[in-house]
């Protein structure tokens, strides 16, 4: 990876998020406008101060027939003629938007950048959501032959169980934890406590993954307002600083990888993020990780360096990633229970970390939250982004 440094530091001065769930009466633009206006208000600026919009969205084309999503956002947010750029990297589209926003501020070309993510996945006009999501795979080598994401992650889960002795119970504990955390998140899609028994009795989707191992189909949007670190204190007493913005790639096809139980894109992105922030995994106080399936959270523990390879299952079983554990993970409820509007997820993770760092997470507040990490994955790991945020510059 490169040894280069940003020319300017970047801070977050405002956040906004919609309720995640099934919004049968809200479309792409209504969701994005709701989150966007909240963020602008939170930043204490006016829409006219915004100089660039970056909008993460995976598949509004396949879901709703609407491409040109960032232009749509600028339009309905009343921000014309300011420029708007859509980023897409499957379920990491939000993480990519955050990265482009950071590049834009660091470049010196823009001071105030609204970075949003939005996805409208229910009430779609086209193919079923699972078919659209298959676009994140290598279409010619995977989707064309009928692979779906639950199937792909089931392969990862089965192999992880085989190689490292990861258990059914450990998978279930991820879902139980994330549902428990979401009880205290008013924006979460599912605020319903579940037990290990509930997970293990839920419908089989792709062996060994059951319904309650899977994140849901969700509508939602989230926005953050970025500003140069040097200017941030003019707008808020509690700016949150971006200490690292990193990304890496891997093959789209699972079969092309050196190991299907390691998401190399996460490994490389994390390494680069720790380098940028001059930190190591043990410095991180809490994290929002990409638990699109329960097995994905276990892999993330390992690939982000929170534990050794193969010991992710043990980490959850020992309670280390629970609230009050060594490193609470997915205090928000994660993709599993907060919901997973794919293009919005990366920004929603940033929103949660900002709330935690500002001490505004109410009943799900992580204690002594000084350094938070956001981990967003596209597809089965062809793209991963890692951001590290902090109250200190």
Residues whose CB is less than 8 angstroms from the CB of residue 58 and which lie 6 or more positions away in sequence, other chains included: 88, 90, 91, 93, 119, 133, 135, 136, 342, 343
Does 137 sit near its own copies (CB under 8 A)?
Answer: yes
Cα separation, 319 vs 87, in Å, equals 36
Q: Which of residues 333-362 bind its own copies (CB under 8 A)?
A: none
Per-residue tokens: 335 = 């993709």
Does 123 sit near its own copies (CB under 8 A)?
Answer: no
Alpha helices in 107-221 (DSSP H): 129-133, 149-164, 168-182, 196-201
Taking the CA atoms of 212, 215, 217 and 223 in sequence, report the sign of the dihedral they define.
positive
**Smallest distance, Å, CB 6 to its own copies?**
5
Q: Binding its own copies by CB under 8 A: which of 41, 47, 111, 196?
A: 111
How far, in Å, are 160, 162, 170, 296 from residue 166 at the CA level?
6, 7, 7, 12
Q: Which of residues 68-87 bind its own copies (CB under 8 A)?
A: 68-72, 74-75, 79-87
Cα–chain center distance at 102: 16
Nearest residue to 135 via CA among 91, 72, 94, 87: 91
Interstrand relation of 52-56 and 113-119 (parallel, antiparallel or unpaired) = parallel
Does 5 sit near its own copies (CB under 8 A)?
Answer: yes
Estimate the crossing angle of helix 342-357 against helix 93-106, to 10 degrees.
60
**Smallest distance, Å, CB 318 to its own copies?**
31
Cα separation, 199 vs 189, in Å, equals 17
| Annotated catalytic residue 214 | no
Residue nearer to its own copies on the CB measure, 8 or 191: 8
Does 378 sit near its own copies (CB under 8 A)?
Answer: yes
Residue nearer to its own copies on the CB measure, 246 or 348: 246
| Annotated catalytic residue 340 | yes
Q: Which of residues 147-166 bind its own copies (CB under 8 A)?
A: none
**Smallest distance, Å, CB 113 to its own copies?**
10
Selecting among 160, 290, 340, 387, the annotated active-site residue is 340
Half-sphere exposure of 232 (CA within 13 A, CB side): 24
Residue nearer to its own copies on the CB measure, 66 or 202: 66
Contact pattern from residue 247 through residue 286 relative to its own copies, giving x for each residue in contact according to CB under 8 A and a dash for the rest: xxxxxxx--x-------xx--xx-----------------
Residue nearer to its own copies on the CB measure, 146 or 186: 146
| Paired strand residues for 376 | 385
Cα separation, 378 vs 387, in Å, equals 15
Cis peptide leading into residue 290 (ω within 30°): no
| H or E stretch covering 302 | helix 294-303
Does 236 sit near its own copies (CB under 8 A)?
Answer: no
Residue nearer to its own copies on the CB measure, 331 or 384: 384
**Smallest distance, Å, CB 71 to its own copies?**
4
**Smallest distance, Å, CB 128 to its own copies?**
13
Does 62 sit near its own copies (CB under 8 A)?
Answer: yes
Residue nearer to its own copies on the CB measure, 303 or 322: 303
Contact pattern from residue 298 through residue 327 relative to its own copies, giving x for each residue in contact according to CB under 8 A and a dash for the rest: ------------------------------
Contact criterion met (CB below 8 Å) for 355 and 230? no
| Active site residue ranges | 91, 340
């Amino acid at each position: 990876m490169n040894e280069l440094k940003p020319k300017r530091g970047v801070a977050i001065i405002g956040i906004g998020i919609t309720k995640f769930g099934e919004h049968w009466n809200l479309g792409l633009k209504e969701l994005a406008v709701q989150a966007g206006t909240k963020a602008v208000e939170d930043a204490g600026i006016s829409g006219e101060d915004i100089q660039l919009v970056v909008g993460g969205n995976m598949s509004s084309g396949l879901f709703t027939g609407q491409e040109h999503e960032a232009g749509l956002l600028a339009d309905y947010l009343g921000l014309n003629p300011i420029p708007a750029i859509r980023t897409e990297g499957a379920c990491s589209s939000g993480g990519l938007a955050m990265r482009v926003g950071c590049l834009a501020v660091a470049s010196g070309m823009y001071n105030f950048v609204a970075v949003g993510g939005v996805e409208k996945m229910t009430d779609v006009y086209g193919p079923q959501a699972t078919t659209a999501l298959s676009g994140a795979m290598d279409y010619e080598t995977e989707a064309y032959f009928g692979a779906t994401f639950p199937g792909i992650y089931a392969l990862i889960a089965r192999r992880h169980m085989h190689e490292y002795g990861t258990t059914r119970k450990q998978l279930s504990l991820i879902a139980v934890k994330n549902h428990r955390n979401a009880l205290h998140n008013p924006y979460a899609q599912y605020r319903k406590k579940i037990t290990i028994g509930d997970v293990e009795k839920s419908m089989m989707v792709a062996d060994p993954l059951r319904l309650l191992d899977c994140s849901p189909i969700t509508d939602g949007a989230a926005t953050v307002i970025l500003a140069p670190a040097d200017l941030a204190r003019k707008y808020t007493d509690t700016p949150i600083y971006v200490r690292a913005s990193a990304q890496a790639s891997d093959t789209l096809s699972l079969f092309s990888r050196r190991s299907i139980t390691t998401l190399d894109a996460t490994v490389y992105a994390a390494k680069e993020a720790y380098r940028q922030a001059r930190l190591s995994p043990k410095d991180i106080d809490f994290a929002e990780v990409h638990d699109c399936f329960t097995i994905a959270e276990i892999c993330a523990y390992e690939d982000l360096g929170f534990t050794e390879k193969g010991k992710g299952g043990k980490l959850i079983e020992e309670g280390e990633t629970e609230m009050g554990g060594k490193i609470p993970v997915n205090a928000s409820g994660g993709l599993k229970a907060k919901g997973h509007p794919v293009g919005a997820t990366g920004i929603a993770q940033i929103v949660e970390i900002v709330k935690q760092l500002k001490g505004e997470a109410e009943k799900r507040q992580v204690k002594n939250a000084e350094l938070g990490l956001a981990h967003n994955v596209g597809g089965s790991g062809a793209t991963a982004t890692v951001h590290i945020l902090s109250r200190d510059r």
